[in-house]
């Protein structure tokens, strides 16, 4: 059985599936201890994610696994999009302590603030 798709939305079948690179959807949060970058990287395994810090810049590159599918697709509408994003790291981030984790297709990058920037309570002493 075969399904032939010759054109869809003005794109020919031959040109419909091309690997492309896009910026992933990203949210940035801040709390007292760190900045968090939360990026959607669906379908990308941990070994397909490359995070690099250089000259005050954090670069995220995420690539889908290259491999043969168990069943070749007859029609493919879901692109395997590779992701790339670059972030300027603000002063006061401890770049040596940056950590990352994935959860359900989401990458979470922890950028801890340097101790000097963290809020701290100052104890007021009495001289009585």
What is the structure's pLDDT at 66?
60
User: Domain coordinates of the chain in residue numbers?
Assistant: 22-66+77-115
CB 25, CB 46: distance < 8 Å: no
Phi, psi values for residue 80, rounded to 5°: -90, 90
Residue 8 pLDDT exceeds 50 = no
pLDDT in tens, 35-45: 999 999 988 88
pLDDT in tens, 37-90: 999 998 888 999 999 999 999 999 998 766 556 777 777 666 677 889 999 998
Q: What is the pTM of this model?
A: 0.72
CB 51, CB 41: distance < 8 Å: no
Least confident stretch, 84-88, 118-122, 124-128: 118-122
Topology of 22-66+77-115 in CATH? Immunoglobulin-like (2.60.40)
Nearest of 86, 98, 28 to residue 62 by alpha carbon? 86
């Amino acid at each position: 059985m075969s399904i032939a798709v010759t054109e869809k939305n003005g794109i020919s079948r031959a040109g419909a599936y091309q690997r492309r690179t896009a910026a992933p959807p990203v949210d940035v949060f801040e709390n007292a201890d760190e900045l968090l970058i939360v990026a959607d990287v669906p379908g990308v395994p941990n070994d397909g994610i490359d995070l690099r810090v250089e000259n005050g810049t954090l670069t995220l590159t995420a690539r889908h696994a290259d491999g043969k599918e168990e069943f070749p697709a007859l029609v493919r509408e879901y692109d395997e999009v590779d992701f790339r994003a670059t972030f300027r790291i603000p002063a006061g981030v401890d770049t040596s302590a940056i950590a990352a984790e994935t959860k359900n297709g989401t990458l979470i990058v922890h950028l801890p603030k340097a101790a000097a920037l963290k809020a701290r309570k100052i104890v007021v002493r009495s001289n009585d």
